[in-house]
Amino acid sequence: MTTNQALFDRACLTIPGGVNSPVRAFKSVGGAPRFIAKAEGPYIWDAEGKRYIDYLGSWGPAIVGHAHPEVVEAVQEAAALGLSYGAPTKAEILLAEKITQLLPSIEKVRLVSSGTEATMSAIRLARGATNRNKIIKFEGCYHGHSDSLLVKAGSGLLTFGNPSSAGVPEEFVQHTLVLEYNNLDSVRAAFEAHPKDIACIIVEPYAGNMNLIKAKSGFLEGLRELCDEYGALLIFDEVMTGFRAGPKGIQGLTGIKPDLTTLGKVIGGGMPVGAFGGRADIMEHIAPLGTVYQAGTLSGNPISVAAGLKTLEIISRDGFYENLSNQLEKMISGIEDEALRAGIDFSADFVGGMFGIYFRDTVPTNFVETSESDIQAFNTFFHSMLDNGVHLAPSAFEAGFISAAHSDEVIEETISAARLSFQKL
Ligand SMILES: *Cc1c(COP(=O)(O)O)cnc(C)c1O
Q: Which tens digits make up the pLDDT trace of 196-221? A: 999 999 999 999 999 999 999 999 99
Of residues 155 and 351, the one with the higher pLDDT is 351
Q: Is 259 in the pocket of ligand 1 (CB under 6 A)?
A: no
- For residues 381-406, average pLDDT: 97
Tell me what the mean pLDDT of segment 373-386 comes to. 97
Q: What pTM value is reported for the model? A: 0.97
β partners of residue 67: none
Please work out whether the CB of residue 204 comes within 6 Å of at least one atom of ligand 1. Answer: yes
Residues 6+ apart with CB under 8 A from 400: 55, 56, 212, 354, 355, 356, 357, 392, 393
CA–CA separation, 179 vs 137, rounded Å?
6
* CATH 3.90.1150.10, the chain: domain bounds: 4-67+318-423
Minimum mean pLDDT among 34-43, 83-92, 145-154, 249-258: which range?
145-154
What is the model's pLDDT at position 159?
62
* Per-residue confidence (pLDDT) for residue 1, from 0 to 100: 75
Residue 158 has pLDDT above 90, yes or no: no
Which residue, 64, 18, 8, is CA-closest to 41? Answer: 64
Question: How many Å apart are CA 65 and CA 403, to the nearest integer?
Answer: 5
**CA of 237 relative to ligand 1 center, distance in Å:** 8
Residue 90's alpha-carbon distances to 13, 93, 299, 374, in angstroms, are 43, 5, 14, 50
Helix (H, G, I), strand (E, B) or coil at 391: strand
Confidence band of 162 (pLDDT split at 50, 70, 90): confident
Mean pLDDT of 391-420: 97
Of 17, 58, 120, the closest CA to residue 399 belongs to 58
Q: CA 377, CA 309: separation in Å to the nearest integer?
A: 40
Closest CA to 112 of 296, 235, 268, 236: 296
Q: Which long-range contacts (CB under 8 A, 24 or more apart) does 378-382 make?
A: 378/29, 379/28, 379/29, 379/30, 380/421, 380/424, 380/425, 381/421, 381/422, 381/424, 381/425, 382/29
Residue 88: pLDDT band by 50, 70, 90 thresholds? very high
CA distance 258 to 239: 14
pLDDT at 256 over 70: yes
Condensed to tens digits (0 to 9), the pLDDT of residues 285-330 reads 999 999 999 999 999 999 999 999 999 999 999 999 999 999 999 9
Active site residues: 142, 237, 265
- Give the tens place of pLDDT for each residue, 320-356: 999 999 999 999 999 999 999 999 999 999 999 999 9
Residue to mutate, 116, 138, 263, ligand 1, most ligand atoms under 8 Å from C-beta:
116
The band of 156, judged by pLDDT with boundaries at 50, 70 and 90, is low
The answer for residues whose C-beta is within 8 angstroms of residue 188's C-beta and 6 or more apart is 222, 226
Question: What per-residue confidence (pLDDT) applies to 152?
Answer: 86
Smallest CA-to-CA distance from 180 within 392, 364, 378 is with 364
Residues in contact with 48: Cβ distance below 8 Å, sequence separation at least 6, in sequence order: 1, 2, 3, 4
The fraction of the chain above a pLDDT of 90, given in percent, is: 96
Partners of 136 in beta bridges? 177, 201
246, pLDDT greater than 60: yes
pLDDT at 408 (0 to 100): 98
Beta strands in 129-280 (DSSP E): 134-138, 151-152, 162-163, 176-179, 198-203, 233-237, 260-263, 274-278
Pocket test residue of 111, 119, 299, 304 for ligand 1, highest count of atoms within 8 A of CB: 119
- Give mean pLDDT, residues 384-388: 98
pLDDT of residue 60: 97
Q: Burial level of 69, CB count in 10 A (0-12/13-18/19+)?
A: exposed
Is the pLDDT at 160 greater than 80? The verdict is: no
Burial class (CB in 10 A: 0-12, 13-18, 19+), 6: middle
Q: Assess if CATH 1.10.3720.10 describes domain 4-67+318-423.
A: no
Q: Residue 155 pLDDT more than 70?
A: no
Question: What spacing in Å lies between the alpha carbon of 142 and ligand 1's midpoint?
Answer: 7
Q: How far is CA 378 from CA 5, 27, 332, 359, 374, in A?
A: 22, 14, 16, 6, 6
CB 53 within 8 A of CB 64: no
Is residue 238 within 6 Å of ligand 1 at its C-beta?
A: no
Over residues 44-51, mean pLDDT: 98
Q: Which atom of ligand 1 is nearest to the CA of 262?
A: 11
- State if residue 239 touches ligand 1 by the CB under 6 angstroms criterion: yes
Is the domain spanning 69-316 CATH 2.60.40.420? The answer is: no
Mean pLDDT of the 358-379 span: 96
Q: Is the CB of 24 under 6 A from ligand 1?
A: no
Distance CA 151, CA 162 (A): 5
